[in-house]
Amino acid sequence: MGNCFDLLDTNYTRLLSEMYPLYRQACQGSGVAVPENLPARDEASGDLVLRYLDCAVVNWCLDFLEQEERQYFRTVRCVFSEGTPVYEGSKIMAKSHIQIAVRDASAVIGYFKPNVDNLAE
């Protein structure tokens, strides 16, 4: 994944948390409203799956780090805990998943095409 801004690493989540007030100040200074994360229209669980705020903060943070600190991240990895608990008292959620965002296409060294003919089996 190259140089990855890995939000499974507490160093990066701490950095993102520290950068958020700067992001808010930048928005206020430029007269731009801070976006919000929202639930999808058909999302019964109330999960905020439309992650406008998260996307904006991460992109702003990475642009800031590149411009001010000369740190360039090719990819971003994050876990999203969504859905309902898989059993009573669990923190394992039914729709949890990891997403990887590729910011630099040169980080992709290959891909595979699923064989959809075998999916029905």
Query: Where do the structural domains in the chain lie, given as residue ranges?
Result: 4-118
| 47-66: pLDDT as tens digits | 888 999 999 999 999 999 99
| 2-39: pLDDT as tens digits | 799 999 999 999 999 999 999 999 999 999 999 999 98
Contact 51, 68 (CB under 8 A): no
End-to-end CA distance of the chain: 32
* CA distances in angstroms from 117 to 58, 110, 111, 112, listed in the order given: 38, 22, 18, 15
DSSP secondary structure letters along 47-60: ---EEHHHHHHHHH
